[in-house]
Structure 1
Amino acid sequence: MASSYEKYQKRRLISSYFSVILSIFLVLFLLGTLSLFVINSKKISDNFRENIPMTIFFDKKTNKADLDKFGANLAKQEYIKEAKFVSKEDAAKEHQETLGEDFVEYLGFNPLQDSYDIHLKGEYVVNDSIDTILKELNTNTAISDIKYDKQLVDLVNENVDKITKWSLIIAAFMTVISMLLINSSLRLLIFSSRFTIKTMQMVGATKRFIRRPFIIHSIKLGVISSILAIIAITALTFYADSKLPDLNINPKEDYMPLVLVSVGIIILSIIITSISTFFATQRFLNLKSDELY
C-alpha cells in the first residue's frame, strides 16, 4: 500500500515538474521570439526601405563617358546600396516585353532615356536624407529628372515607426506577464511542499537553509525551460529565414541577435525563478502551522 502511495506521489511530483517546465518554456519562447523580432526590426525595416527604387534620368545629349563617370562616382557614395545602369535600348526592350509590341518601330525613334536605377541604404530612405541627396544629384546638369515613390516612402516609414513602437510596448507587457505566470507556476509547485517546509522549520532549520534547495531546484527547472525555448527559437529563426529570405534575417552569418536573445532568456529565467521561489518559500515560512491548511 505504501509502495503504491509512493508511486502516486512520484507521478504527481513529475507531473508538477513537467507543468512548471512547460509553462516557463512557453512564456520564454514567446518573449524570446518577440525580443528577436525587436532586435531584428531595424534590419527588417531597412530591407523594406532598400527595396524602394529611385530612377535618375539623363539628358539625351549625355555621352557614354559622362554616364560611366557618373556611375563610378555614384558607387563611392555612402548612401548607395545598389546602382544599375539602364541604357535606353535596354529600357526599350523591357517596355516592348511588357507591352507586347515594338513601339520603337511604330514611332520611328526611341523616346526613352539612359538612366540609373538606384537603391538607397535603409537609414537614408527618410524624407530629410532623400531631399539632401536630391539636391546633391540635381547639381549635375546632365540629369534631366529623378523619380521615386514619395508616398511609398512615407507609408513605409510611418508603418515602421508604428510597428517598432507597438513591439516595444508588447515586449514590456509580455515581460510583466511572463514574470507573473512563472511566479504562479513556482508558487503552486512549492505549495505542495508547504508541510515539508514547516516541518524543517519546526526542527530548527534556518530560513536560509530551507530556501536554498528550493531556489536551486527552481533555477534548474528554469534553465531546462530556457534551453528548450532557445532550441525552439533557433529552429523557428532558421525556418523563417528559409521561407522568407527577403526579411534578411540570415542567422548563419548574423548570429549575434540569436546569441543575445539566448543569453537574455537564460539570465531572465534564473532571475525570475530565484526571486519567485524566494518569496514563495518566505510566504510559507511566515505562516503558522494551522494556516497551512
Structure 2
Amino acid sequence: MARTKKKVGAYPSGMILFSLTLALFLIGFCGMLAIQSKRVVTYIRENYEMRAFLDKGLSDVKLTKLSKTIAEKPYILKTKGAAQVTFVPKDVAAKEFIAETKEDFSKFLGENPLRDSYRIKLTEEYFEEAKLQQVKQDLEEVDGVFEVVYQENLVDNINRNITKIYAVMSAFALILLLIIVVLMNNTIRLALHSQRMLIRSMQLVGATNGFITRPFLGRGMWQGLLAGVIAVVLLLVGLQVAIHNLPELAMFQDPQKLTFLLAGIVGLGVLIGFLSTFQAVNRYLGMTLDELY
C-alpha cells in the first residue's frame, strides 16, 4: 500500500478550530455583556430625576416662561429634540404621595401643602456629585424655583457600583484573553508536531524559512477567519434567542458597537491564528535534529 504523502501546512485542525471558536465566542460574549451593561448604565443615569419645586402662586405665563428657561439649559436631556422636563401639579403630586404612603394628609391638614414641580432628567455626563451640585445651584438661581432636590447617596452608590463592575469585567476579559493565547499556542504547537520532520526535510533541501512558513500561516489565518465567523454566528443566534425570551433587552442594543465587536472578533481570530502559527512554526524551524526527535 502506498504511503500518503504529507502536504506542507496540512495538519489536524479540528481541535484547533473548536478551541479557537470557543475562545472567540467567550470573548465576544464578554464584549456583548460590556455593551449591554454600558447601555443599562446610560439608561439608569438618563432616567434619574431631579425635582425642582416652584414658588407658590405662579401664573400660567410665568410657568410657560420658566419651563422654556429650564429646557434650554445645556445639562437637560433631550430625546428626539424634546427636553425631558415634566410639569407635575401639586394635586397630582398629592395623589402620588397618598398612593405610595397610603396616608391622606389632607384629612388632618385641611389643605395640600405640596408645591408644583418639574421633574428633570439630565444628560449622562452630569451624573456625578460635583456636577449635580452645580446643576442644583444653577436651577435654584432661576426666578420661580423654590428648591431643587435629588437623592445624593443614591448617586454615589450607583457610581461606585458601576466602577466596581467595570473593573471586574475588565480583569476577567484580560485573564480570559491571556488564557486563550496560551491555549492556542499549545494547541497549534501540538498540531504541528506531526509536521516537524517535513519541515526539517525542506530545510535540508534548501527551502527558505519564508517558503516553509507561508502555507502554515495561510492555513492558520484561514482557521482563525472561519472560527471568527462561526463565533459571530453563534453570538447573533444567542442574542436573538435572548431578545425573543426577554423582549426588554431590545432597548439596550447598540447596533454600531455590536457591529464593531463582531468585526473585531473575526479580526482577532485571524490575528490569533497568524501569531500562534508563526510562533509554533518558528519554534520547529530553530530546533536541531536531536531536539526534533
Equivalent residue letter for 2:21: F
Query: How far does residue 150 in structure 1 lie from its aligned partner after superposition?
Result: 0.3
Equivalent residue letter for 1:53: E
Question: What secondary structure, in the 3-state scheme, does the structure 1 residue paired with 2:13 have?
Answer: helix
Query: How far does residue 288 in structure 1 lie from its aligned partner after superposition?
Result: 3.2
Query: How far does residue 238 in structure 1 lie from its aligned partner after superposition?
Result: 4.3
1:249 maps to which residue? 252
Cα deviation per residue 1:219-269 (whole Å; 9 max; x = unaligned)? 11111111111122333444555637379432xxx4221122122222222
Which region of structure 1 is more displaced relative to structure 2, 95-104 or 148-157?
95-104
1:67 maps to which residue? 63
Inter-partner Cα distance in structure 1 for 2:238 and 2:149? 39
Shift in alpha-carbon separation, 1:162–1:134, aligned structure 2, 3 A: same
Cα deviation per residue 1:77-115 (whole Å; 9 max; x = unaligned)? 231222211111212222343355654355432222111
* TM-score between both structures, scaled by the size of structure 2: 0.84
Gaps of 5+ in 1: none
1:271 maps to which residue? 271
Cα deviation per residue 1:144-176 (whole Å; 9 max; x = unaligned)? 222211000001111222223333333333332
Query: How far does residue 50 in structure 1 lie from its aligned partner after superposition?
Result: 2.1
1:222 maps to which residue? 224
2:174 maps to which residue? 172
Inter-partner Cα distance in structure 2 for 1:192 and 1:77? 70
2:91 maps to which residue? 89
Shift in alpha-carbon separation, 1:105–1:68, aligned structure 2, 3 A: farther
Question: Percentage identity across aligned positions?
Answer: 32
Equivalent residue letter for 1:118: I
Cα deviation per residue 1:188-225 (whole Å; 9 max; x = unaligned)? 21112223323333344332222111111111111111
Residues 17 and 227 in structure 2, CA contact (< 8 A), matched pair in contact too = yes
Counterpart among 128, 131, 140 of residue 129 in structure 1 = 131
Question: What secondary structure, in the 3-state scheme, does the structure 1 residue paired with 2:287 have?
Answer: coil
Residues 48 and 156 in structure 1, CA contact (< 8 A), matched pair in contact too = no
Which region of structure 1 is more displaced relative to structure 2, 35-44 or 155-164?
35-44
Query: How far does residue 34 in structure 1 lie from its aligned partner after superposition?
Result: 2.5
Question: What secondary structure, in the 3-state scheme, does the structure 2 residue paired with 1:97 have?
Answer: helix
Residues 47 and 246 in structure 1, CA contact (< 8 A), matched pair in contact too = no
When the two chains are superposed, the root-mean-square deviation of aligned CA atoms in Å is: 2.8
Inter-partner Cα distance in structure 2 for 1:246 and 1:61? 44
Residues 35 and 258 in structure 2, CA contact (< 8 A), matched pair in contact too = no
Question: What secondary structure, in the 3-state scheme, does the structure 1 residue paired with 2:118 have?
Answer: strand
Equivalent residue letter for 1:268: L
Aligned residue runs from structure 1 range 128-167, under 5 A:
128-167=130-169
Equivalent residue letter for 1:61: G
2:75 maps to which residue? 79
Inter-partner Cα distance in structure 2 for 1:239 and 1:151? 37
Shift in alpha-carbon separation, 1:288–1:99, aligned structure 2, 3 A: closer
1:284 maps to which residue? 284
Q: What is the number of equivalent residue pairs in this alignment?
A: 282
1:45 maps to which residue? 41
* TM-score between both structures, scaled by the size of structure 1: 0.84
Inter-partner Cα distance in structure 2 for 1:34 and 1:50? 24
2:16 maps to which residue? 20
Inter-partner Cα distance in structure 2 for 1:124 and 1:291? 63
Inter-partner Cα distance in structure 1 for 2:122 and 2:197? 67
1:30 maps to which residue? 26
Question: What secondary structure, in the 3-state scheme, does the structure 2 residue paired with 1:226 have?
Answer: helix
Equivalent residue letter for 1:78: P
Residues 53 and 118 in structure 1, CA contact (< 8 A), matched pair in contact too = yes
Which region of structure 1 is more displaced relative to structure 2, 147-156 or 196-205?
196-205
Inter-partner Cα distance in structure 2 for 1:109 and 1:228? 67
Which region of structure 1 is more displaced relative to structure 2, 184-193 or 172-181?
172-181
1:189 maps to which residue? 191
Shift in alpha-carbon separation, 1:64–1:112, aligned structure 2, 3 A: same
Inter-partner Cα distance in structure 1 for 2:98 and 2:66? 27
